[in-house]
Structure 1
Amino acid sequence: MKWTKQEIEKLIEENKLYRFYKSKEWVILKNKVLDEFHHECQWCKEKGKVSRAETVHHVQYVKTHPELALCEFYEYRGKQYRNLIPLCHDCHDRAHERMKYRKVKQVNEERW
């Protein structure tokens, strides 16, 4: 099965996007990307650290760009960019500003 934009949009609308992430097409593509980068987290690697990547991050989020859900690359202003990047759980949480990586809004100016 090749996912269409409309099918993914329907999953998003129904809050069932997990079905896409469990699909054979996604699992095959995810494993291909992980193998291509030797299961190394690319953000950690940029900082000189070596970490095992367990997940593949969509640079162009599936919820905002469902048409790119199964695309390794995307084009912007005539230049090609990588859409799928292997990341460790910690970096993936940072990418989505989850848990401890949420930006904290400062209520008022500190006066110490």
Structure 2
Amino acid sequence: MIPNVKTRTDRARFYGSTVWRNLRKSILERDNYECQWCKAEGKLTTQYDSVLEVDHIKELEQYPELAYEPSNLRTLCKDCHNKRHDRMNYRGNERKRKWDDEWW
């Protein structure tokens, strides 16, 4: 079964499905509830340290046929997942705000 994930609504339906939620749980268990990127760097990040997310190694939008393939899934903490997708709110990204350099 290849999911349709072209729109935001399609993705919400996919990520809210029972099939995905059960698969997500099995991937978290397989990875011992540990961020795989942190683990590769010798750090331990678990569900007690951060929100854990299941990442599609090959992007869901480009490879929908791999949506449910366990070998294409891994556990990442929220910071690593944001870093992987180049989102601005991960810990390693020091973003300067407009008024940070002013004292008044």
Q: TM-score range by the shorter chain?
A: 0.7 to 0.9
Q: Structure 2 length normalisation: TM-score?
A: 0.75
Query: 2: distance between equivalents of 1:47 and 1:87?
Result: 13
Unaligned segments of structure 2, at least 5 residues: 94-104
Which structure has the highest strand share of the two? 1
Give the corresponding residue for 1:85. 74
The CA deviation at 1:95 is: 1.1
Give the corresponding residue for 2:28. 34
Give the corresponding residue for 2:8. 15
Post-superposition Cα deviations, 1:42-66, rounded to whole Å, max 9, x if no partner, equal 0000111000251110001110111
Higher relative contact order structure (alpha carbons within 8 Å, sequence separation ≥ 6): 2
The CA deviation at 1:67 is: 0.9
Structure 1 stretches (4+) deviating beyond 4 angstroms?
A: none
The CA deviation at 1:15 is: 2.2
Q: Any idea what SS the aligned residue of 1:99 has?
A: coil
1:43 to 29, 37, 49: 37
Query: 2: distance between equivalents of 1:15 and 1:90?
Result: 22
Give the corresponding residue for 1:55. 53
Unaligned segments of structure 1, at least 5 residues: 74-82, 103-112
The residue identity in structure 1 corresponding to 2:25 is N
